[in-house]
Chains A and B, each alone.
Chain A
Amino acid sequence: MSSLPWLTIVGVTPLVGSLVIALLPSSSAPGSDAARRRRDLLVKRTALGFSLLTLVLTIAMVVSFSPGGPDYQFTQVYSWIPRFGIHYAVGVDGIALVLIAMTAVLTPAVVLASWHDVDPPPEVAATADTPGSGPKAVPARARRRSVKAYFAWMLLLETMVIGIFAATDLFLFYVLFEAMLIPMYFMIGSYGVGRRQYAAVKFLLYSLLGGLLMLAAVIALYVYSARAGHPGTFLFSQLTHVALSPGAQKWLFLGFFIAFAIKAPVWPFHTWLPDAAAAAQPGAAVLLVGVLDKVGTFGMLRYCLELFPSASRYFTPLILVLAVVGVLYAAIVAIGQTDMKRLIAYTSVSHFGLITMGIFALTSQGQVGATLYMVNHGFATGALFLIAGFLIARRRSSLIADYGGVQKVAPVLAGLFLIAGLAGLSLPGLSTFVSEFLVLVGTFTRYRAAAIAATVAVVLSAIYILWMYQRTMHGPVRKPVEGMPDLKARELWAVGPLIALIIALGVYPQPLLNIINPAVQHTLTQVHAIDPVPPHPGQKSVTSVADPGRIVGGKLTKKELAP
């Protein structure tokens, strides 16, 4: 099985889909309204088909991945620009694999949920369909936006993100890291709402700034690799062996870290995210917050730690402070938001703080938790954003104050919104709890103060989620909400699987953990970090003795780490 170039197949599939869509007749071609709608439908079905195909292929790839096998699997290395040691090199460890899987799961859900998001507004029905919403709610001018391009961008973005997670050549990674901005820029700038252009440019400027810093660091790293004797290279596997002076490590670390901190985003580089998420269509916001931002945290885990281990340790206290401040600050700001999309964006900033904290705690629980958090956050926030989007599509407003009593008229919508929200506040039994607790407990074993401070977010998250839920879903049915339809089958199919995953991974996360564990052990070995040993080890439970394989396995990895 492993002889198949899985990664390339998975990565290229959405690209093919994107090209196929580009070749389909455009909706602006001459023809009646009905003909146009038919063409749009073909585009959407093609996008859905290719995203589902990608998902199926990804599942096949995950199944053929062997968790105990080599660190990087499905590897392919082809020389691309030999002169500079640039390769087309791909391969995944457990961390990258689960992130690719998360991307592949989210994309079809987003395609399905975005079905009508960029349709030309129904010019006749615009007023009839929103009773009592007043003139403000009617969209300004019916703009002709290309449905085709929107879905093509979406699939192109999926290819790029999969490529980023799969790349094992730093140049390839960097190119995709920058190129990824283009589809998202258009998805926000041309298809968004409100101050979409402002938000898109802000997003771009921030990202470009980070990208430039990283570019400088990438070049410098190449130079060092060339100086180290062998010909210069961009291959990650070789770059990790390049000896760097402590000073150089620090500067290069900063170049990478700031780029990733902007992307993630980590406080105080976060202000572009609420603007971008609020301006984007819900589906684009999911791809932005759920997928794109994970590149930042993934980059910290893979590149910052493994390339610059001693600088990582040097900067850890500073980063932990930023992370904890971000966790609390963003949660407090989230409480004060009046717009659902901005609120969810701020909760994400808070969660990214936790992920960053878990990564830099340099313990297996912290990093496994952080990785799992990236996946779970994608599903949970994805579901929350999409359901908020369904709500917004009905009422044409993202302001919390425009709702009230929705649970009475649309109980299924409200119920799923609640589950997604509870995942946002990390309720046990839902997937986010496992990752959040692992992050906290992993941090606690080494940095108690940071973990305790971050635990305050447990209270804050309950406030921001439940207060939003109370204001939108509870209370007497507000007039504009009357007659609001419940979820349609398409919408249910979009978020239902995400909700099911949230519950399933909360009850039984071990399959994912088994994939992530070895990859994190590898990372920790690179950073020379060993989990703190408890001073008074208690006897494990009776039942775990009956399961000696796992415990022996755990001890072995510790022994391996010891020297």
Chain B
Amino acid sequence: MTGTLAGLPMRAASALPTLAAVGVQRTAWLMLVFPLAGALVLLLGGRRTNRFGHVVGVAMPFASFVVAVITFVAMLGYPASQRARDVHMFTWISVGGFHVDAGLLVDQLSISFALLITGVGSLIHLFAVGYMSHDPDRRRFFGYMNLFVAAMLLLVLADNYLLMYAGWEGVGLASYLLIGFWQYKPSAAAAAKKAFVVNRVGVAGFSVAIMLMFATFGTVTYTGVFGQASSAGRGTATALGLLLLLGACAKSAQVPLQSWLLDAMEGPTPVSALIHAATMVTAGVYLIVRSAPIFNLSMTARLAVTVVGAVTLLFGAIIGCAKDDIKKALAGSTMSQIGYMVLAAGLGPAGYVFAIAHLIVHGFFKAGLFLGAGAVKHEMNDEVDMRRFGGLRVVMPITAATFTIGWLAIIGVWPFSGFFTKDPIIAAAFAKGGISGALLGSAAMIGAGITAFYMTRVLLMTFTGHRRWEPDAHPHEVPPVMTSPMIVLAIGAAGAGAFLMLGNRFVDFLSPVTGAPPASRGLITPVSGATLALVVLGAVIAWAMYGRREIPVTAPAARFPVVAARKDLYGDAVNEAVFMRPGQWLTRLSVYFDNRGVDGLVNTLAATVGGSSGRLRRVQTGFVRSYALSMLVGAVLLVGVLLLVRI
């Protein structure tokens, strides 16, 4: 099928051949091997590796970064149509027509992620050297972190859905291990389990999608599925799209599977920065954009994606407004920002590039913000309540400065990154047209205003105003091993957006994979003007509420909307009422039934046969003989029957 479907330009890339990798790109698998080896050494090496564990832990992602850069440079040497290269490793599973290779696809999309994961990942690993320096289990921490990097790279580099699924569950495992890193805290243990279980709901959807792909196309490779996607019809595409969306919702903490992310803040802060902000939670966006040829075919699936994104971007932003815990405020913000990416991804080729661009700059500024929060927490004796912060600008100037740059980037002030990546998403939503376009665009625009409010609130409560510290807090600026990653991330937060978006640099780079959005209409449009006004309004309101007035140390009593936001908009209450309680009830009923129903029947039967339970016991003690006897009788019976029936 050629031409346009559902009014969308057909993606060019599905027709492009994927070539076998040559030259240095053939060693792209080293990207995975370094962190995997690091994880093995650190987790199997035991206490012997305690002394140098963190060095190995930081060196491995850096080595991966170097490989990623080399692979990337090699890619730039090819013409745009020949940049998708496949690295075959070995045959993973081959049964009948079901053939799955362990192979890597190095193309513009996957290398963008690989650079982000290894680059930002290395910086966060470096930060963690300082942050975790007092933790007796620092080696184990780096082992898990390296495991995460390996799994995340597998997720984005896999050349087929099943291998991507392996990476998908691998990052889920790493997330489980790291949220529960301080497993002796019951809250951390519960949060870890919750994250994994909620993600398994998504995994169920993802795996049914893979089964449907195999049943329809006889293959689960990207090239095989995308090449035939259009011939399978819209029904199949819609089913696949919705199933994949379920997976994406769980991994990217989108409504209705969002509830685990706020609890996940139980993990050490570098984990929150790397896994629950910069990389893993964006995997849902990757899944949707990677599956562009499927989503391009189904308007229904894309509409569902945009609705999920728009709802979540408001949902997360509202939660972010009410949290006094700095990490939870940032977690709400992460949900909200990923909501923007999902919304953009749902817009089809008009939004894919912007989704990925926003994802990358979000990786910079959100990781930076989280590391800033971590630095503050580190200096404030693990306090996370912003009502006990205040005035930290003076004692932690570098942290405050990098945090401020992150703040400017996330609220989208020109010329900081967010401006270049968030505004195109809002504009593209409006450009979708019709009522849905207006609604989605408005939601995204209002979300920008709310974002400005809650981020300003975080900034003001933490770094300005009076000191509301606990008496035993003596904060200082953190050591260079922690400030340097924050500085590098701040530079990215400041400049990455302009670098990527000006002159269509990133759009041109990525469009062979995702299709190109319509040409932009300049920097200043009515939409961007209105957005900027809302952003200023949000920031001013926050300043009026938190900058000018004294902040009480305990949260004031609140009425409906604030209470709801503090309770995560009742996400957990809904889960409890809809899934947990009925589930517990069903479990109890089943256990009862199994013991009394099925089993009771058998026991009654046995008791009736034996006359009474006392008789049964006697049968048991004499059973050896009686069994031997029955064997004998059986054998005699067998021979007898055989003799009788002999013809």
Which residues of A does B touch, CB under 8 Å?
A: 84, 178, 182, 185, 189, 197-198, 200-202, 204-206, 208, 212, 215, 219, 222-223, 226-227, 232, 268, 270-272, 329, 332-333, 335-337, 363-365, 368-369, 405, 407-408, 415, 422, 427-429, 433-434, 437-438, 440-442, 444-445, 448, 451-452, 455-456, 458-459, 462-463, 466-467, 470, 473-477, 508-510, 513, 517, 531-544, 546-547, 550-551, 554, 557-558
| A391–B309 CA distance with the chains assembled, in angstroms | 46
Specify which of A198, A445, A458 is in contact with B200 (CB 8 Å cutoff): A458
Q: Are A271 and B599 in contact (CB under 8 A)?
A: yes
> Given the complex, which residues of B lie within 8 Å of A539, measured CB to CB?
219, 223-224, 227-228
- Does A219 contact B641, Cβ atoms closer than 8 Å? yes
Contact with A along B210-237 (1 / 0, CB 8 A): 1110111111010111111001100000
With contacts A84-B642, A444-B212, A477-B184 known, is A438 near B95, CB below 8 A? yes
How far, in Å, is B147 (CB) from chain A's closest CB?
A: 10
CB pair A451–B103 under 8 Å, yes or no, is no
> Given that A428-B170, A543-B103 are known contacts, is A329 also in contact with B590, CB under 8 Å in the complex?
yes
A534 contacts B218, CB within 8 Å?
yes
CA distance A344 to B93 in the complex (A): 28
Contact A226 B645 (CB under 8 A): yes
Contacts of B218 in A (CB 8 A): 533-534, 537-538
B228–A537 touching, CB < 8 Å: yes
The contact sample of 27 A-B pairs, CB cut-off 8 A, is A197-B621, A215-B634, A226-B645, A268-B598, A335-B587, A364-B96, A408-B184, A428-B170, A442-B95, A444-B214, A445-B214, A455-B207, A458-B207, A470-B192, A475-B184, A477-B184, A510-B91, A534-B218, A535-B216, A536-B231, A540-B99, A541-B18, A541-B159, A542-B223, A544-B91, A551-B99, A554-B94
Report if B431 contacts A (CB, 8 A).
no
* Chain A residues whose C-beta falls within 8 Å of the C-beta of B86 in the assembled complex: 541-543
In addition to A458-B200, A458-B207, A475-B186, 4 A-B residue pairs with Cβ atoms within 8 Å of each other are: A197-B621, A455-B207, A538-B227, A543-B88
Neighbouring A residues of B590 by C-beta, 8 Å: 329, 332-333, 336
A474 to B185, CA, bound (A): 8
Decide: B95 and A332 in contact? CB cutoff 8 A: no
Stretch at the interface among B111-119, B299-307, B404-412, B612-620: B612-620
B211 touches A441 (CB 8 A): yes
Contact partner, A531, options B97, B197, B221, B620, Cβ 8 Å:
B97
Q: Nearest CB to that of B201 among chain A residues?
A: A459
Q: Are A546 and B200 in contact (CB under 8 A)?
A: no
Residue in chain A with minimal CB distance to B137: A411
Interface size class of B (residues with CB under 8 A): 35 or more
- Return A182 CB to nearest CB of chain B, in Å: 7
Q: A365-B95, A458-B203, A476-B184 are in contact. Are A201 and B620 (CB under 8 A)?
A: yes
Instruction: Kindly specify which of B160-168, B280-288, B446-454 makes contact with the partner chain.
Output: B160-168
Decide if B184 touches A534 in the complex (CB within 8 Å). Answer: no
* Residues on the A chain within 8 Å of B96, using CB: 363-365, 368, 517, 531, 554, 557-558
- Shortest Cβ distance from A222 into B: residue: B642
Contacting pair A440 B184 (CB below 8 A):
no
B78-107, CB < 8 A from A: 86, 88, 90-99, 101, 103
Number of A-B residue pairs, CB cutoff 8 Å, is 256
Asked if residues B231 and A474 are in contact (CB atoms below 8 Å), the reply is no
- What chain B residues lie within 8 Å of A272 (beta carbons)? 602
> Across the interface, do A536 and B645 meet the contact criterion of CB distance under 8 Å?
no
Which of B267-275, B556-564, B623-631 touches A? B623-631
Of A368, A440, A441, A537, most B-chain CB atoms within 10 Å: A441
How far is B598's CA from A84's CA once the two chains are assembled, in angstroms?
40
B423 sits at the interface (CB 8 A): no
CB-CB under 8 A from B620, the residues of chain A are: 189, 197-198, 200-201
Contacts of B212 in A (CB 8 A): 444
Interface residues of B (CB under 8 A from A): 17-20, 43, 86, 88, 90-99, 101, 103, 159-160, 162, 165-166, 168-170, 173, 176, 180, 183-184, 186, 188-190, 192-193, 196-197, 200-201, 203-204, 207-208, 210-212, 214-219, 221, 223-228, 231-232, 586-588, 590-591, 594, 598-599, 602, 606, 616-617, 619-621, 623, 627, 630-631, 634, 638, 641-642, 645-647
Q: A271-B599, A333-B590, A429-B166 are known contacts. Are A542 and B93 too (CB-CB below 8 A)?
A: no
Contacts of A335 in B (CB 8 A): 587
Nearest 3 pairs of A and B residues by beta carbon: A538-B224, A534-B218, A364-B96
> Of A205, A227, A532, which one neighbours B647 at CB under 8 angstroms?
A227
Q: Which of A185, A456, A510 meets B627, CB within 8 Å?
A: A185
List chain B residues, Cβ under 8 A from A455: 204, 207-208, 211
